């Protein structure tokens, strides 16, 4: 799916990530953890080709990211569901229209049935016509998750999906992610919430990647 | 911009919807297009009118020339014969004739009255020469006349025709240049407006890229919008401009240059070409601006 080979990324001055080599195998569930500013978001951005590696090679669906044109990147992103901490909705469109956005931009008709099911799945059926600014943090996160999965992506990348919500809602979002993983999706969740990781490990075979000293390492079972 | 729910929006309409409506400033680009087209209609009228004028002056005056013979009385008949002989043998002359006394009298009547004793006065004799195709070489004719009939003077009107025709030609060039400048200005203004809109919507564009929108899809939303605005604005400007030209005083009354400003016949179709042209300019300008701007965003 997505693989990193000796990848380094540096901003102007210092190196943020270096010598990162790993593979996200199909159907795997990974957590990415580390202190704030360690490079979790950067790692995710490298994974969805928002950023290109300074050195090394990132492969997206068997293609080198540096060889992708802007349209190729757009096509690749239709196979990747991205959930941001701040969700990024279009505030002038209703929740339903926002969720259908990945369909809209690829000039495909969205199936209303899927939409209803999906809204029901994330528990937002009654808010289909609401505008994004009217939603609570938890509702927004669940909506973002629904938008990420509407085109049936192979991979879901979530950046602090539980950053703005309480524990109960975190668990609910985690449950949705676990369900998606059981349906065969590859999942990568960046979070600094260790409790969430422990909770997940009780339910599913999840691996934990930790960013420390600019490197991404596979953490042991010692959480 | 929200559409009624009952009607499922076409992909094109939805492409428009993904960019938030831009409010009252949106109509500034329409206004610009309207004003530019309005000015363009007048520049067009100027070009067409001066073009017509240049042609008219060149053609009408180029066709005929006059030979004036002033000679001592005993020489007149001799030189008249010589002139006629020269004209007879000069290629490129369609027809020629000597004006008789009655015609000469008629020409002088407005100045001297009907009872002018024309025979008693040393009035020059006049010959009218009509140019053929191809035209005669006027310098050659002039030289031959000087040799055969020293009292003859060929006046082919070039002396005052040329500067007038040149002025009209320049004026037309100026009109064309104005049209080009107006077009370029509109392209620049639409580009600026499009860039501003793109910058304002940078966050929207980021979201669209995130969910897998291609550049062409995002650009389309902006391009459609600005093209439509330019088309509508320009349509209004063209109609207003044409109305303005139509109410100018009629040409024939004075026949002067300023009142000659206007369209005639199929010339009225020209201003109608402006709105599609403006839309085309807006389309190209927005597209260029959009792709440039999109390259800056990942």
pLDDT given at position B1: 40
* Per-residue pLDDT tens digits for B11-36: 556 666 788 877 777 788 899 999 99
- For chain A, 223 residues long, give each residue's pLDDT as a single digit of tens: 899 998 999 887 788 888 888 888 999 999 999 888 888 889 999 999 888 899 999 999 989 988 999 999 999 998 999 998 887 899 889 998 898 888 888 877 666 677 888 888 888 889 989 999 998 888 888 899 888 888 888 999 999 888 878 888 889 889 989 999 999 999 999 998 888 998 888 888 888 999 888 888 887 654 5
For residue B218, give the chain A residue with the closest CA: A105
Q: How far is Cα B79 from Cα A76, in angstroms, rounded to an integer?
A: 96
Using the beta-carbon criterion (under 8 Å), do B211 and A77 form an inter-chain contact? yes
Q: Which two tokens stand for residue B139?
A: 């310098």
Please determine, for residue B231, whether its predicted confidence score (pLDDT) is greater than 90: yes
Q: Is residue A191 part of a domain?
A: yes
Range of the domain at A187: 2-218
Beta-carbon separation of B214 and A93 below 8 A: no
Residue B20 touches partner A, C-beta closer than 8 Å: yes
In the predicted model, what is the mean pLDDT of residues B134-148? 85
Q: How many domains does chain A have?
A: 1
CA distance A137 to B24: 32
CA B178, distance to chain mean position in Å, is 10
Residue A188 lies in a domain: yes
pLDDT class for B157, splitting at 50, 70, 90?
A: confident
A126 in any annotated domain: yes
Residue pair B127/B69 in contact by the 8 Å Cβ criterion: yes
> Confidence band (pLDDT; 50, 70, 90) for B4?
very low
pLDDT of residue A36: 84
Q: Do A71 and B17 touch (CB under 8 A)?
A: no
Asked whether residue A223 is domain-assigned, the answer is no
Question: In the prediction, which pLDDT does B6 show?
Answer: 38
How far away is chain A from the Cα of B204, in angstroms, using its nearest Cα?
6
Contacts of B215 in chain A (CB under 8 A): 70-71, 74
Sign of CA dihedral B39, B40, B41, B42: positive
Q: How much is the pLDDT for B260?
A: 63
Taken as a whole, chain B contains a residue count of 298
> Which site among A48, A90, A132 would you substitute to test the B interface, given the most B Cβ atoms closer than 10 Å to its Cβ?
A90
Mean pLDDT for chain B? 82
- What's the pLDDT at B279? 93
Give me the phi and psi of A220, to 5 degrees please: -80, -165
A210 in a domain, yes or no? yes
- CATH number, domain with residue A174: 3.40.50.300
Mean pLDDT of B169-188: 90
Which residue of chain A comes nearest to B215, CA vs CA? A71
Inter-chain CB proximity A90 and B20 less than 8 Å: yes
Residue showing tokens 């990647």: A209
pLDDT mean over B121-140: 82
Q: What's the pLDDT score for residue B172? A: 86
Sequence spans of domains, chain B: 11-58+162-296, 71-150
The 3-class secondary structure across chain A, one letter per residue, is: CEEEEEEEEECCCCEEEEEEEEEECCCCEEEEECCCCCCHHHHHHHHCCCCCCCEEEEEECCEEHHHCCHHHHHHHHCCEEEECCCCCCCCCCCHHHHHCHHHHHCCCCCCHHHHHHHHHHCCCHHHCCCCHHHCCHHHHHHHHHHHHHCCCCCEEEEECCCCCCCHHHHHHHHHHHHHHHHCCCEEEEECCCHHHHHHHHHHCCCEEEEEECCEEEECCCCC
Q: Going by DSSP bridges, is the β-strand pair A80-83/A155-159 parallel, antiparallel, or unpaired?
A: parallel
The top-scoring range by mean pLDDT among B60-69, B203-212, B242-251 is B203-212
pLDDT in tens, B33-88: 999 999 999 898 888 888 887 777 777 666 778 888 888 888 888 888 888 888 88
- Interface pTM (ipTM) of the complex? 0.86
Q: Which residues of B touch A128 (CB under 8 A)?
A: none
């Amino acid at each position: 799916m997505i693989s990193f080979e000796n990848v380094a990324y540096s901003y102007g001055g210092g190196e943020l990530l270096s010598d990162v080599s790993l593979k996200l195998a199909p159907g795997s569930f990974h957590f990415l953890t580390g202190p704030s500013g360690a490079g979790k978001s950067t790692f995710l951005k490298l994974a969805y080709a928002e950023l290109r590696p300074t050195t090394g090679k990132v492969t997206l669906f068997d293609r080198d990211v540096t060889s992708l044109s802007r349209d190729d990147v757009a096509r690749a992103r239709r196979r990747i569901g991205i959930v941001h901490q701040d969700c990024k909705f279009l505030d002038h469109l209703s929740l339903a229209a926002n969720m259908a956005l990945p369909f809209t931009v690829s000039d495909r008709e969205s199936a209303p049935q899927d939409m209803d099911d999906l809204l029901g799945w994330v528990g937002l059926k009654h808010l289909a016509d609401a505008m994004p600014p009217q939603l609570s943090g938890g509702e927004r996160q669940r909506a973002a998750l629904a938008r990420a999965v509407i085109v049936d992506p192979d991979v879901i990348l979530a950046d602090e999906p539980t950053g703005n919500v309480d524990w109960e809602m975190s668990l609910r979002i985690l449950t949705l992610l676990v369900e998606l993983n059981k349906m065969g999706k590859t999942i990568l969740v960046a979070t600094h919430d260790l409790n969430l990781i422990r909770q997940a490990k009780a339910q599913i075979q999840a691996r934990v990647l930790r960013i420390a000293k600019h490197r991404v390492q596979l953490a042991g079972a010692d959480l | 911009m929200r559409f009624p729910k009952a009607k499922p929006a076409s992909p094109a309409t939805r492409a428009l919807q993904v960019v938030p409506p831009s409010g009252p400033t949106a109509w500034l680009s329409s206004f610009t297009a309207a004003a530019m087209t309005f000015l363009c209609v007048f520049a067009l009228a100027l070009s067409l009118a001066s073009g017509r004028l240049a042609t008219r002056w060149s053609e009408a005056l180029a066709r005929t020339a006059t030979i004036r013979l002033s000679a001592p009385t005993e020489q007149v008949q001799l030189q008249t014969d010589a002139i006629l002989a020269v004209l007879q043998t000069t290629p490129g002359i369609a027809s020629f004739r000597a004006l008789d006394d009655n015609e000469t009298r008629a020409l002088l009547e407005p100045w001297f009255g009907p009872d002018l004793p024309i025979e008693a006065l040393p009035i020059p004799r006049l010959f009218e020469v009509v140019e053929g195709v191809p035209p005669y070489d006027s310098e050659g004719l002039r030289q031959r006349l000087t040799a055969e009939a020293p009292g003859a003077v060929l006046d082919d009107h070039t002396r005052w025709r040329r500067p007038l025709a040149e002025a009209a030609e320049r004026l037309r060039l100026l009109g064309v240049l104005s049209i080009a400048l107006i077009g370029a200005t509109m392209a620049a203004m639409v580009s600026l407006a499009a860039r501003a809109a793109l910058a304002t919507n940078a966050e929207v564009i980021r979201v669209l890229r995130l969910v897998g929108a291609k550049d062409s899809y995002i650009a389309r939303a902006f391009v459609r919008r600005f093209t439509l605005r330019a088309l509508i604005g320009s349509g209004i400007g063209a109609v207003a401009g044409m109305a303005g030209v139509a109410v100018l005083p009629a040409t024939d009354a004075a026949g002067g240059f300023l009142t000659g400003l206007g369209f005639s016949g199929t010339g009225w179709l020209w201003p109608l070409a402006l709105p599609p042209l403006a839309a085309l300019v807006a389309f190209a300008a927005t597209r260029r601006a959009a792709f440039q701007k999109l390259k800056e965003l990942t």
